[in-house]
Every structure is written in C-alpha cells, then in structure tokens.
Homo-oligomer: A and B are copies of this chain.
Amino acid sequence: MNEVINVVKRGLFVGRFQPVHNGHLKALEFVFSQVDEVIIGIGSAQASHTLKNPFTTSERMEMLIRALDEANLNDKRYYLIPLPDINFNAIWATYVVSMVPRFDVVFTGNSLVAQLFREKGYEVIVQPMFRKDILSATEIRRRMVSGEPWEDLVPKSVAEFINEIKGVERIRMLATNLEKNEKELQAPIRIPEF
C-alpha cells in the first residue's frame, strides 16, 4: 500500500496568477501530462490590491479551481499552496520545500526559480512560454486599465469570476490612485555603495 503511494510522482509549479490566463493553462496542461499530482504554489501570497498584484490569494485560488475545472484538468489531484514572500532568495527554495508536499520535479519558465531550485539540487524542467507577448498577466492588466479587450486571453470561467468580483474596476481604481509621488524611489537603509 505504502509503496504505491510512494511512487506517485509530483511536480511543482509556482506562479503569481495575477490573474490566471491561457498561458498558465497551457503550462499547467503540460505539467499535468508529466506527473501524477501537481503542486501549484501561489507566490506573493500576501499581496493584493496593487497594480501588479490586484487579486488576493483567496481570489487567485478561486480562479485556478474554476479554470482547472473548465479545462477538465481536475481528474488528477492538485494542491494549491499560498507562498508569502520572504525576501531572502538564498533560502527561498528551502522555504518552499518545507511548505508543500514532497515533490520530484520543478516546472518553470522563470530562470531565477530554475536557478534557486537547481542550486539546492532539484530537477528543474524549463518550459518555453507560448505567445508570451500577449499571454502575460502584465499585458492583461494593461488592457484592463486601458479599456482594451482582455477576456479572450483568459479562461471563460476566469473572465466570469473577474467580472463577478468587479476586478476590472479594482485595477482601474488602483491605476488612477497611483500618484506620481508613489513612484519615487524608496531606499530604506541605503548603505554605501562605492
């Protein structure tokens, strides 16, 4: 019995999902095809209500659940794990490992994530991103702010959820609110750099 459990192969995939979009789905489809169970880490889990991180972790989980249901990726078991930032890259991979179920391989399109896990000896599979020019959360948030169409870049159920929670209004409010002075540099300690 135990042996059967032990041979379950798990893959880890980390993203911010601000919001979930079709590029995430493409990537997740590949991950689901390679392993028995998928751990989805939700990065910057403490962040929300900013232009770069408009949605809460709770909302991002809801998007993932609906998108995976819509894509029929729910026949395999997956785990949704919030990962609040620790702002300490040298120990980040060890921190993630302590907070998620045991896994066998990391899937990522991000070279820093790849490097941080490789430095700790994990197998990493780098995925080329599909149509990264438009299938990026940044592009989607930009369209939301400027009033351009964005719905086709995300799963239908995610678009519906974002409309339910008035997500576009929230992002526009955040964009309006951001005054010039907020863009000034914050340089908290500023020790000498010769």
Residues of A within 8 A of B (CB): 1-2, 5, 14-16, 18, 21, 23-24, 27, 41, 43-53, 56-58, 61-62, 65-66, 69-70, 74, 77, 79-92, 94-95, 97-102, 108-113, 115-116, 129, 132, 135-138, 141, 157, 160-161, 164, 170, 173-174, 176-194
12 A–B contact pairs at CB < 8 A?
A48-B90, A49-B116, A58-B98, A58-B99, A61-B101, A81-B82, A82-B99, A89-B189, A109-B192, A113-B192, A135-B194, A136-B179
- Distance in angstroms between the alpha carbons of A97 and B45 in the assembled complex: 12
Set B46, B173, B178: member contacting A187, Cβ < 8 A: B178
Set of chain B residues within 8 Å of A129, measured between Cβ atoms: 194
Q: Is A99 within 8 A of B45, CB to CB?
A: yes
Q: Once the chains are docked, how many angstroms separate the CA of A55 from the CA of B124?
A: 22
Do B194 and A15 touch (CB < 8 A)? yes
Report the bound CA distance from A115 to B99 in whole Å. 19
A107 to chain B, nearest CB (A): 9
Contact A178 B185 (CB under 8 A): yes
Q: Do residues B47 and A194 form an inter-chain contact, with CB atoms below 8 A?
A: no
Among candidates B49, B135, B182, B194, residue contacting A115 with C-beta atoms closer than 8 Å:
B49
Q: Once the chains bind, are A188 and B85 in contact (CB under 8 Å)?
A: yes
The listed residue (B115, B137, B157) touching A193 by CB distance below 8 A is B137
